[in-house]
Structure 1
Amino acid sequence: MASRSLLCLYAFVLFSLATADFSAALSPYFYNKVCPKALPTIKRVVEAAVQKEKRMGASLLRLHFHDCFVNGCDASILLDATSTIDSEKNAGANANSARGFNVVDDIKSQVDKVCGRPVVSCADILAVAARDSVVALGGPSWTVQLGRRDSTTASRTDANNNIPSPFMDLPALITRFSNQGLDTKDLVALSGGHVIGFAQCNFFKNRIYNESNIDPAFARARQSTCPPNGGDTKLAPLDPTAARFDTGYFTNLVKRRGLLHSDQALFNGGSTDTLVKTYSTNFGAFSADFAKSMVKMGNIKPLTGKKGQIRVNCRKVN
Structure 2
Amino acid sequence: MAPTLASLVAIFSCMALCSLMRASAASKLRVGFYAQTCPRAEALVREAFDDAVRKTDDIGADLLRMHFHDCFVRGCDGSVLIASANGNTAEKDADINQTFEEEAFQVVDNAKASLEAACPGVVSCADILAYVARDSVAHYGGGFYDVPAGRRDGRISLATDTSENIPRHNFTLDQLTRVFARKGLTQSEMITLSGIAVYIGAHTIGIAHCPAFTERLYNFNSSSGVDPTLDPAYAVQLQQQCPTAASNTEVPMDLPSELGFDNSYYKGILRNRGLFTSDQTLVSTPAAAAQVKLFARNSAVFKSRFAAAMVRMGSIGVLTGSNGEIRSNCRAPN
- Structure 2 length normalisation: TM-score? 0.84
Q: Identity of aligned pairs, percent?
A: 40
- Whether 1:235 and 2:253 are equivalent positions in the alignment is no
Distance in 2 separating the partners of 1:50 and 1:282: 28
- Offset from partner CA, 1:165-204 (integer Å, 9 cap, x none): 0110110000000000000111111113321111121111
Q: CA deviation at 1:269?
A: 4.2
Task: Decide which moves more: 277-286 or 39-48.
Answer: 39-48
Give the structure 2 partner of residue 274 of structure 1.
Answer: 290
Give the structure 1 partner of residue 117 of structure 2.
Answer: 113
Q: Any conservation in 1 of the 2:26–2:316 contact (CA below 8 Å)? A: no
Distance in 1 separating the partners of 2:97 and 2:158: 12
Give the structure 2 partner of residue 176 of structure 1.
Answer: 179
- Whether 1:245 and 2:281 are equivalent positions in the alignment is no
Q: CA deviation at 1:102?
A: 1.3
What one-letter code is carried by the residue in structure 2 that aligns with 1:235?
E
- Whether 1:192 and 2:198 are equivalent positions in the alignment is no
- Offset from partner CA, 1:231-255 (integer Å, 9 cap, x none): 23x2111101120111110010000
What one-letter code is carried by the residue in structure 2 that aligns with 1:41?
L
Larger Rg: 1
Give the structure 2 partner of residue 257 of structure 1.
Answer: 273
Residues 23 and 235 of structure 1, relative CA distance in 2, 3 Å threshold = closer
- Offset from partner CA, 1:58-77 (integer Å, 9 cap, x none): 11000000000001000100
- Offset from partner CA, 1:103-161 (integer Å, 9 cap, x none): 1111111222222x131110000000000010011112211010101110112122111
Give the structure 1 partner of residue 89 of structure 2.
Answer: 86
Distance in 2 separating the partners of 1:311 and 1:151: 9
Task: Decide which moves more: 88-97 or 155-164.
Answer: 88-97
Give the structure 2 partner of residue 293 of structure 1.
Answer: 309
Task: Decide which moves more: 258-267 or 168-177.
Answer: 258-267
Secondary structure in 1 matching 2:321: coil
Which of the residues 75, 80, 92 maps onto 2:78?
Answer: 75
Secondary structure in 2 matching 1:295: helix
Distance in 2 separating the partners of 1:285 and 1:24: 25
Q: Any conservation in 1 of the 2:76–2:318 contact (CA below 8 Å)? A: yes
Secondary structure in 2 matching 1:246: coil
Give the structure 2 partner of residue 3 of structure 1.
Answer: none
Moved over 3 A (4+): 96-99, 268-271
**RMSD value, Cα:** 1.7
Distance in 1 separating the partners of 2:26 and 2:56: 36
Q: Any conservation in 1 of the 2:124–2:152 contact (CA below 8 Å)? A: yes
Q: CA deviation at 1:163?
A: 0.4
Which of the residues 55, 58, 69 maps onto 1:55?
Answer: 58
Give the structure 1 partner of residue 321 of structure 2.
Answer: 305
Q: Any conservation in 1 of the 2:214–2:245 contact (CA below 8 Å)? A: no
Secondary structure in 2 matching 1:265: helix
- Structure 2 regions of 5+ residues with no counterpart? 1-24, 197-202, 221-226
Task: Decide which moves more: 208-217 or 274-283.
Answer: 208-217
- Structure 1 regions of 5+ residues with no counterpart? 1-21
Distance in 2 separating the partners of 1:97 and 1:36: 30
Q: Any conservation in 1 of the 2:192–2:309 contact (CA below 8 Å)? A: yes
- Structure 1 length normalisation: TM-score? 0.88
